[in-house]
Structure 1
Amino acid sequence: MNKVITSLNQLDFSISDLEPMPAPEKVLLVKPTYFSVEYVINPHMEGNIGDVDKLAAQNEWEHLKGAYEELGLYVHVEPGQRGFPDMVFCANQSLPNITKDGKKEVIMSVMHSDQRKGEVPFIQKVYEDSSYDIVHLDHSRFTDFEGMGDALWHFKKRLIWGGYGYRSSKEVYDVISDIFDTPVIALELIDDRFYHLDTCLCILDSDTAMIYPKAFTDEGLELIRALFKNVIEASKYEAEKLFACNATCPDGKNVFIQQGCVDVNHKLKELGFKVHEFSTYEFLKSGGSVFCMKMLLW
């Protein structure tokens, strides 16, 4: 079923109608050896050039790595690369998929910013070594697509939520829907502080999402609320300053989130989620947190 949906009147299925997918059991991480703030390509970076404590960043990253291992996921670590300080945010360079026949494939990103374009070949090598079929977008047609920064799989269902407006184009989702034979819910982003979909939408399980409502249009909010039974709303402070919606929930039960998100953590626990808080303060200086810092793979 390939289609791109942008408004509620186009929606002709429910979550229960969708093909099931297995949850990923592997995590890709990139060492933050060269992580720093060296330029400004989003509002969160402003004023932070040269201000990263590299030892603190390494410790924060190590704590997250250990948490994935404790959860029972296989962790694959790639080295950072000199000259690419944002490569640690390895959710951005690709969009992986597994078909119902078990075939693994991946669409490689076309990074919006020149500073990050060189990251993609290093991440592509990981997929080549893991027997994924590699798909490249036509760069003459598409100049903006930032992988799972903007394209999020619904939990264990064949559906992609696709953000557009800042780092990915709306038109790219027609091609992605065709390649993966998967419906896409396309959501326009309207606040540049929430420049990727993963900064304002966190899919927790098949029925539950956490959002920052003011990052979306009314049409986008209608679609989110139509397909999720439970929608947790993050406050402006927790969403913008603590990146609450950049959390991740790999197994539909355990939520990894930046520490200090008191309000949303209370709401998560009320719904039965187990909350694990982490410091990602050094990475927040570059406009990323927990979700950005990993890629879940099959």
Structure 2
Amino acid sequence: MAKVIASSSQLDFSLSELESMPLPEKVLLVKPTYFTVEYVINPHMEGHIGDVDKLAAQNEWDHLKSAYDELGYYTHVVEGQRGYPDMVFCANQSFPNITKDGKKQVIMSVMHARERQGEVPFIRKVYEESSYEILYLDESKFNSFEGMGDALWHHKKRLIWGGYGFRTSKEVYEPISDLFDTPVIALELTDERFYHLDTCLCILDEATALIYPKAFTDEGIELIESIFENVIEASKYEAEKLFACNATCPDGKNVFIQQGCVDVNHKLKEAGFKVHEYSTYEFLKSGGSVFCMKMLLW
């Protein structure tokens, strides 16, 4: 079912009608050996050039890796590369898929920022060694697509949520929908502080999402509320300063989230989720947190 939906009036299906998908069982992580802030490509980086405590960053990363180990995920760790300090945010360089017959595919990103474009070939090697069919976008037509920073799978359903406006072109979702034979709900992002969809939308389970509403248009909010039965809202402070919506819920039960999101954590617990807090303060200086720092794979 290939189509791109940009308004609730275009919705002609319910979740129950969509094909089910298995949850990923593997986690890709990139070591933060060379992580630092060397340039400014988003508002969160301003004032933080040379300000990263590398030992603290390594400790934060180690604790987050342990969290996936404890949940029983296989963690595939890749070395960072000198000259690419943001490669640790490995949600951005690709967008993986599994077909209904179990075939693994991946679309490689076209990074918007020149500083990050060289990360993609290193991540492509992981897929080459993991039996994935590697797909490419026509870069003469689309100048930016930043993987699972902007393209998110619905929980256990063949449905893609696609953000656009800052790092990804809206037009890219038509070929992605065709390549994966999957509908895409396209959401325009309106605030440069929430430059990726994964900074303002966290899909928790099939029926529940965590959002920062002011990062979307009214039309976008209507689309989100048309699909999700339960929409949890983060405050401006917790969404912007603590990246609350950059949490991840890999199994639909356990939520990994930046430390200190008191209001959101209370709402998550009330909704029946188990909350695990992790410090990602060093990574926040570069505009990323828990979701950005991993890629879930089949």
Structure 1 length-normalised TM: 1.00
d(CA) in 2 for partners of 1:29 and 1:15? Answer: 31
Matched, 1:239 2:218: no
1:212-251 superposed matches below 5 A = 212-251=212-251
User: What letter matches 1:35 in structure 2?
Assistant: F
Matched, 1:288 2:288: yes
Residue matched to 2:89: 89
User: What letter matches 1:132 in structure 2?
Assistant: Y
1:30-179 superposed matches below 5 A = 30-179=30-179
Q: Deviations over 1:34-66 (max 9, x none)?
A: 000000000000000000000000000000000
User: What letter matches 2:199 in structure 1?
Assistant: T
1:14 Cα deviation (Å)? Answer: 1.0
d(CA) in 2 for partners of 1:153 and 1:23? Answer: 10
Task: Name the SS of the counterpart of 1:4 in structure 2.
Answer: strand
Task: Name the SS of the counterpart of 1:276 in structure 2.
Answer: strand
User: What letter matches 2:255 in structure 1?
Assistant: V
1:236 Cα deviation (Å)? Answer: 0.1
d(CA) in 2 for partners of 1:88 and 1:213? Answer: 27
Percent identical across equivalent pairs?
83
d(CA) in 2 for partners of 1:222 and 1:26? Answer: 33
Residue matched to 1:193: 193
1:281 Cα deviation (Å)? Answer: 0.1
d(CA) in 1 for partners of 2:213 and 2:221? Answer: 7
Task: Name the SS of the counterpart of 1:238 in structure 2.
Answer: helix
Q: Deviations over 1:96-153 (max 9, x none)?
A: 0000000000000000000000000000000010000000111101110000000000
Matched, 1:275 2:275: yes
User: What letter matches 1:79 in structure 2?
Assistant: E
d(CA) in 2 for partners of 1:208 and 1:127? Answer: 30
Q: Deviations over 1:163-214 (max 9, x none)?
A: 0000000000000000000000000000000000000000000000000000
Task: Name the SS of the counterpart of 1:62 in structure 2.
Answer: helix
Task: Name the SS of the counterpart of 1:225 in structure 2.
Answer: helix
Moved over 6 A (4+): none
CA-based RMSD of the aligned residues comes to 0.3
Residue matched to 1:208: 208
d(CA) in 2 for partners of 1:144 and 1:124? Answer: 17
Matched, 1:257 2:276: no
Unaligned runs of 5+ in 2: none
User: What letter matches 1:64 in structure 2?
Assistant: L
Unaligned runs of 5+ in 1: none
d(CA) in 2 for partners of 1:136 and 1:175? Answer: 10
Task: Name the SS of the counterpart of 2:75 in structure 1.
Answer: strand
How many residue pairs align between the two structures? 298
1:12 Cα deviation (Å)? Answer: 0.6
d(CA) in 2 for partners of 1:140 and 1:221? Answer: 32
d(CA) in 1 for partners of 2:129 and 2:208? Answer: 34
User: What letter matches 1:235 in structure 2?
Assistant: S
Residue matched to 1:20: 20
Structure 2 length-normalised TM: 1.00
Task: Name the SS of the counterpart of 1:87 in structure 2.
Answer: helix
d(CA) in 2 for partners of 1:218 and 1:128? Answer: 41
Matched, 1:29 2:29: yes
